[in-house]
Amino acid sequence: MKKIWRKITAVFITAAIAAGSISGCASSTGGASTGSTTSGQSTEKAKLTVSTWAGADELKQMQAIVDKLNANSKDYTLTIQSIPANYYTKIQAMISAKQAPDLMWLSQEYIPMYAKLGVLMDITDKATQDSKVNLNNYFDGPLNTAKYKDKLYGLPWISQPVVMYYNEGLLKSAGVDLPSGNWSWEDFRTAAKKLTKVDSSGKITQWGTVIDGWPPVQTWIWAYGGETVDKDGKILIDSRESIKGLTELNKILRDNVSPTQEQAQNMGDADLFKTGKVAMFFGGAGDDLEKQVGNKFKVGMAEIPHGDKKVTFSWIASTVISSQTKNPDAAYKALVDLTNATFQWKVVPPIQDGFDMIPKNMPEKEYALDVIKKSSQYARGFNNQEKETEIDTAIGDELYTPLINGKKTPEQAAKDAAAKIKTITGK
């Protein structure tokens, strides 16, 4: 799972709009439609492009899907544009130059910004009237991230809930019962202390867990009824409920059951788990840790611990349509076909009846199917705002990193983060 607090802002696109370089559906570029009859109707398929950050094996898998779609469609030919590095910088440059792809992948935090700036096509009416799109089949968490001001701008194709992986052998050796779906954060804290080992010189040789800026700090805030900001942008990160969650997190951090942030970054947090130096690790339900660990030890998966309620963060991405496309109808058909095909490919799909394919696509996940299903039911994304990437950066800089490093109390960190977010949003 990608764990990057992106610092790209809306400034570049906003400036482009001010200069008049981004327009509506009319564009000199975008998908081309070739061939026409005397009545003006196209006789050939629309040529469309979909941009993706997929590379290597993932790109090959996606290409196989697109090849099948192209062979079966009478309306479009879809070409993949792979941008595995600097994806958003390049997408923004293409939009500014009126060379936006017809379709593109967006992770959840970018949709409000792009929708506000008018670079996305509103698909609300089409999707609600389309028998090939069952919006009721989506889990609420992922579908909500594709909306902006109650309008739908994309179709989610993945929703990876954060779960807790554990090294079964280390837990058994320490006399820790294997985690159930009802572990509280206090249960987790107790286990993490038992699983942290110190040698005769006082050096830690094994940690109970790793918290280095991941999972998102909202994991604890949400668990105790708090929010960073609500759907309307009201700042709640310094509310009583949010501070309660931060206080519970701070207890874990002060127990010295995790490598320092510097150690985790130098050694790699996932690598610490895979090499048996960390007993419990938070990762996406679709991460291939079982395959990477192999026979070194038995990997287990459990639902994330709960606070006052069960909730977990989910990494969510959608496919959207550019408002610059010259073929909106064909682009919409391609969007629906590609999304439905991706449900049969990606782990974890964002829909309620999409779990049957998981054992086929990732046989090593069959043992954890129940955990993945349950986690998906209460997984959610952020209450994404128009400047979400800036908000995320502020939370990391003003709250999460200082808390991890013991530089601030939960109360001070929350207060500082709230003040910084206010300067960003003006609310």
pLDDT in tens, 251-266: 999 999 999 999 999 9
Are residue 50 and residue 152 in the same domain, yes or no? yes
Number of domains composing the chain: 2
Are residue 61 and residue 196 in the same domain, yes or no? no
Give the pair of three-digit tokens for residue 123: 């698909």
Are residue 281 and residue 166 in the same domain, yes or no? yes
Are residue 97 and residue 214 in the same domain, yes or no? no
Tell me: pLDDT of 403 over 90.
Answer: yes
List 198's β-bridge partners, or say none. 204
pLDDT for the residue numbered 1? 59
Specify if 49 maps to a domain: yes
Specify if 3 maps to a domain: no
Give the pair of three-digit tokens for residue 184: 């509280």
Are residue 347 and residue 420 in the same domain, yes or no? no
Mark out the alpha helices in 138-286 (DSSP H runs): 140-145, 168-173, 185-194, 218-223, 240-254, 261-267, 269-274
At residue 24 the predicted structure's pLDDT band, cuts being 50, 70 and 90, is: very low
Q: What is the mean pLDDT of residues 213-236?
A: 98
Are residue 407 and residue 276 in the same domain, yes or no? yes
Return the axis-axis angle of helices 388-395 and 410-425, rounded to nearest 10°: 160
Task: Please write the tens of the pLDDT for every residue from 164-197.
Answer: 999 999 999 999 999 988 999 999 999 999 999 9
More confident position, 23 or 363: 363
Q: What is the mean pLDDT of residues 377-393?
A: 98
Boundary of a domain, candidates 380, 395, 412 = 380
Mean pLDDT for all residues in the chain: 92
Are residue 253 and residue 265 in the same domain, yes or no? yes
Give the pair of three-digit tokens for residue 99: 């060379």
pLDDT for the residue numbered 26? 36
Specify if 1 maps to a domain: no
Residues 6+ apart with CB under 8 A from 168: 178, 297, 298, 299, 300
Closest CA to 104 of 85, 121, 118: 121
State the residue range of the domain holding 40.
Answer: 11-160+315-380
Tell me: pLDDT of 32 over 60.
Answer: no
Specify if 5 maps to a domain: no
Boundary of a domain, candidates 348, 363, 380 = 380
Are residue 304 and residue 354 in the same domain, yes or no? no
Are residue 189 and residue 291 in the same domain, yes or no? yes
Specify if 4 maps to a domain: no
pLDDT for the residue numbered 2? 42
Are residue 70 and residue 207 in the same domain, yes or no? no
Q: Which helix (H) or strand (E) holds 148?
A: strand 147-148
Instruction: Determine the Cα–Cα distance for residues 58 and 61; give it in Å rounded to an integer.
Output: 5
Tell me: pLDDT of 22 over 60.
Answer: no
Specify if 80 maps to a domain: yes
At residue 80 the predicted structure's pLDDT band, cuts being 50, 70 and 90, is: very high
Lowest mean pLDDT among 38-42, 45-49, 176-180, 249-253: 38-42
Tell me: pLDDT of 202 over 50.
Answer: yes
Are residue 123 and residue 206 in the same domain, yes or no? no
pLDDT for the residue numbered 259? 98
pLDDT for the residue numbered 13? 45
Closest CA to 228 of 215, 214, 245: 245
pLDDT for the residue numbered 427? 84
pLDDT for the residue numbered 179? 97
At residue 129 the predicted structure's pLDDT band, cuts being 50, 70 and 90, is: very high
Specify if 2 maps to a domain: no
Tell me: pLDDT of 19 over 60.
Answer: no
Specify if 238 maps to a domain: yes
Are residue 201 and residue 323 in the same domain, yes or no? no
Lowest mean pLDDT among 4-13, 59-68, 334-343: 4-13
Closest CA to 387 of 4, 117, 119: 117
Residue 188: which CATH number?
3.40.190.10
Residue 156 has a CB neighbour count (10 Å cut-off) of 27
Q: What is the mean pLDDT of residues 261-290?
A: 97
